[in-house]
Amino acid sequence: MRNNESAEMYLETIQLLTEKKQYVRAIDIVHETGYTKPSVSRAMGLLKTRGCIAVDENGYIRLTEEGSALAQKILERHRVLTAFLEKIGVSAEVADDDACKMEHVISDETLQKIKAFISE
């Protein structure tokens, strides 16, 4: 994996899939993202090495405590940014796409200010 953004995207995808189904396998990630099987396999190996995921003997992937914390953080960023963009008039589809790009680079301070703003 080239960078943290890529790792974050995979963790977010695993978290979202986990919310939808009981078991997540690499093929589910392939279908969800459109990435190739070799790319997903390589990424899963790196996430496993980093301690973010565990893979059982059946190939089921689960987030570790560390991986889950990271996935929850990035998912919250995505949801807050999407809500903010929609609140200022951006269409839902564009807001979702833009939030996906922004969630990896926004500071905690800015995110907190956006959360306070949309709560008003």
pLDDT in tens, 42-88: 999 999 999 999 999 999 999 999 999 999 999 999 999 999 999 99
* Confidence (pLDDT) at 20: 93
Third-level CATH fold of 4-69: Arc Repressor Mutant, subunit A (1.10.10)
What is the domain partition of the chain in residue ranges? 4-69, 73-119
- Given a contact cutoff of 8 angstroms between Cβ atoms, the answer to whether 61 and 25 are in contact is yes
CA angle 19, 6, 23 (to 5 degrees): 25
Kindly report the backbone phi and psi dihedral angles of residue 113, in degrees, each rounded to the nearest multiple of 5, phi listed first.
-65, -40
Q: What is the pTM of this model?
A: 0.84
* Confidence (pLDDT) at 3: 62
* Confidence (pLDDT) at 2: 46
The answer to whether the 4-69 and 73-119 domains have the same CATH topology is no
* pLDDT category of residue 5 using cuts at 50, 70 and 90: confident
* pLDDT category of residue 6 using cuts at 50, 70 and 90: confident
CATH code linked to domain 73-119: 1.10.60.10
Look-up of token digits 């459109």:
34
> Can you say how many angstroms the Cα of residue 43 is from the centroid of all Cα atoms in its chain?
13
CA angle 27, 31, 32 (to 5 degrees): 115
